Structure 1
């Protein structure tokens, strides 16, 4: 049985790298950390992981990305994989988008960029504790 996955989605590689480093430092090898640079790539990864019977625990997504916005992605993910814990990480989401994600995607939390490492880790821990 492979380890459960935390999926990180952001169109900026530097953000993905930073998130991955912080999570690995905190959680070590408890999880696999997958990254996607777009909503479409994230959906492909989710599909592949599901086909391989890999448990996806949590998804952290940016809001402002080319193509599909983060709230749209989270709603799609929620409709297909309702058990995945969803966190939005954003520098510029409008309140409507956050509210939409809360109502339609069961958003666990919305963190603002630049994020506080402790707040990020605490949010992920509280999400995983669900």
Structure 2
């Protein structure tokens, strides 16, 4: 048996849009199922909200997400970022630029005192990202 640590995001009603955006950035296979697909009881008009979405990318990432129906509390997690790191400068720079579209770049990609390149942003869905480009060995 294997184990994994996977990022699982929650939105109020933007999961499908967010996950399609992330697929446009990272590529891969996106699977989306609604509450109606599983016959789950939710508030009126909320059956088409996303109960479970999974994006598997060719780079080996797995990103999951779901919508939180209106009768359930939705709290935003504070104090976290999703970090993308590696030495493929072109790929990481492209992801940074794509994630920044309609978002907020907090720290542009630049050379920090420890070397390489580093930048932070909050995408248009409110998710914080760090991009760390290590110097190629």
Taking structure 2 as the reference length, what is the TM-score of the superposition? 0.30
Q: Which has the higher strand share?
A: 2
Taking structure 1 as the reference length, what is the TM-score of the superposition? 0.31
Q: Which has the higher helix share?
A: 1
